[in-house]
Amino acid sequence: MKPQRVLAIVRKEVKKAIRDPAILFMIFLFPVFFVLAFGLAYGASFGSDGQTAYEIGVVNMDQGPASQTLLTALSKTEILRPNIYGDNQTAQNDLSQGRVQAVIAIPSDFSLSLASYQAAPDDPRSWVNTSVALYLDRGSLIATQVVPSIVQQTLMAITGQYARAPNPFRLEIASLVEVKSLSSFEYMAPGMFTFASIYILMMVAQSFVQDRENGMMKRIRVTPITSAEFMIGQILSYTLIALVQSALVFATISLLGFRPDVGALAYIFAFAIILVFSLSNIGFGLITATVARSGGAATGISFLFLLPQLFLGTFVGMSLSSAAQIARRFVPSYYVTDALTSLFLRGADVTSPTILFDFAAVSVSCIAVLMLGVFLYSKHCAI
């Protein structure tokens, strides 16, 4: 394989993209317009994420019966599903990786506090006041709004006085996790990176079909370039385009105020996982180009691969049914959005198990799709 031939293919594709206004718009201007429109539209509150139940971690430091009463009451809400943790560090690690939406720390004097209240409900001076710490997942807009109120209502309920105020329990939103109030645009930002990258699928499909229609593929066959050199050149071209798209999305979102408190390693990882994700879209584009016989058909067929990833794996999937929650794990875009959410909103470390799992899932699935696309196009379109 000769590198200069591969570079010649890359130059050809880049020049074609620059000279075609439609492709130029889809590659460079569409992501910017898209982010600006949604950023300006959703800078305030956004609707429900449709989640009917939330996994919450519970660190129980109380040995008395009141803590068990609280756990039972939380379970009966049918909105919160408590998971018991032996220590706070393990619970915090799972919170930062999105495995639970909140962590409740029950203090050691919780039962004593409830008993003092029940002994003299009308004498606040005799109460043993205590604080229940609540850590929230900043990656879930609804969790930050719903969970605190439910926990507060449950604390009031176990006193037996729903409407009575005050009571001996104080709910503290821990500053370790909930450091600021995020706008709905910031909640959607991780999914926007994935959203913009998906459209490479349509560009690849249209480009390959157009090359076949205008005779470019026939001319390439009579040149010394090999099939491997041609495919590598095409893949590198669209990976480069994905890199430019990612940079534009990052720049636009930063301009709109999304500046997560993360280090350079997190940004490097974000670009890396988006570039790996672009391989699956190139693969789906090749599969589409194999089946389609015209540019119009390529556009229509590409939506068969585009829409599932769009609705199940990006910010569009903030409102999903329980069945869709399961189905989304079969699309690569879900793992990209989940990893970026954990990085930028939950503060997870790049080396955390969830991040590494997301990256592995994206890598394996995307390489498999790319290999399938290359195989089908090479076999049926005879490059």
Tens digit of pLDDT for each residue in 186-211? 777 888 888 878 888 888 888 888 88
Whole-number pLDDT of residue 165: 58
Name all domains of the chain by residue range, CATH numbers in brackets: 3-43+183-381 (no CATH), 54-173 (3.40.1710.10)
With bands split at pLDDT 50, 70 and 90, how would you rate the model's confidence at 117?
confident
pLDDT of 308 above 50: yes
| 70-79, 84-93, 153-162, 248-257: range with lowest mean pLDDT | 153-162
Q: To the nearest whole number, what is the mean pLDDT of the chain? A: 81
Region 109-133 average pLDDT: 87
Longest dimension (CA), the chain: 94
Q: Is 223 left (phi over 0), alpha (psi -120 to 50) or beta?
A: beta
- In Å, how far are 54, 91, 139, 228 from 347, measured between CA atoms? 19, 14, 9, 41
Q: CA–CA separation, 31 vs 371, rounded Å? A: 27
Tell me the pLDDT tens digit for each residue of 339-375: 998 888 878 889 988 899 999 999 999 999 999 999 9
pLDDT for residue 35: 66
Q: Residue 59: its pLDDT value, please?
A: 93
